[in-house]
Amino acid sequence: MQENGQKKKVLYSAVQPSGDLTIGNYLGAIKNWVDLQHDYECFYAMADMHAITIRQDPATLRRKTRELAALYIACGVDPAACALYVQSNVSCHAELAWVLNTLTYVGEMERMTQFKDKSARHADNINMGLMDYPVLMAADILLYQTDVVPVGVDQRQHLEITRDIAIRFNNRYSPTFTVPEAVIMQTGAKINSLQDPTKKMSKSDENPNASVYMSDDRDTVLRKFRRAVTDSESSVRFDPETKPGVSNLLTIYSVFAGKSIAEAEREFDGKGYGDFKAAVGEVVADALTPIRSEQERILADKDYLDGVLAAGAEKAYRTARSTLSKVYRKIGFYRPGK
């Protein structure tokens, strides 16, 4: 793609179709995708291969994959402006991951924060896929000669190992991969739990009041914000160290309302926490209602959604196959007639 005679930089991002997405996933990922899709050549995926490192019900995984794709579009991702596809529909991801495994060391994988965290939470299922997760992620990114990857502050470790693997391959076999850079999303990049605002909002949180899901109806959204943890003071001001709950709510409000933190602070100056939490709930509910309605409309049109994902996979495959062919040639894999 060209814009003003300049080739667009490539951007890659993906979300797992497991569990229900939270507003944290939306603000930290999908909303940014919409903002970035016309400035970059974008590849956006449903990362179902990553999802199976934790045991999944097959029927649920298929359903969640379709729901996630429909949610992308309902949030404003334009299939005509990017490659929107299901990760497992492009076999190059798994093929490149195997090659990259031979350049990655066990010690590196054992030090990865996500492996340690998930191993602790799923002690009965510490599988090799769980350990190898960052290598598959590196393959995801490097397949598309990705220039930039939008990441939250807690995902930088994965991009660093991707960069290390790319540099290692380039040094051993000659320049092949673009070494990607991070685009750190500042505002809204990390949305915390409504019940424990020192922790990130998670779609796997056992406390149903801790996370606001994209699928929550209006009454549920309002109720969860009414129950959100604040503090014993009464002032609405941004101070993550001493007022993590209020600061988290201010972040959520500012992004959904399209205002700066300072503007939000002024708006609620002198108002109590009850009014503040109600206002945050209202602005979030107002934003989610049309998205949920559009998602349902898209899901009802199976032919349309299947067509979008097939076209996206075809586009992604063309780019991925080109990269993989270069890799296979450089490492010495024999191809008849070549």
Mind telling me the catalytic residues? Answer: 118, 200, 203
Of 211, 168, 135, the closest CA to residue 331 belongs to 168
CB atoms under 10 Å from CB of 36, counted, come to 18
What is the DSSP annotation of 195-210? S-TTSB--TT-SSTTT
Q: Which two tokens stand for residue 318?
A: 């063309």
Cβ count within 10 A of residue 338: 8
* 196/190 Cα distance (integer angstroms): 14
Closest Cα partner for 38 from 62, 74, 4, 63? 4
* Contact yes or no for 24/197 (Cβ under 8 A): no
Strand partners, 181: 148
DSSP symbol at 79: T
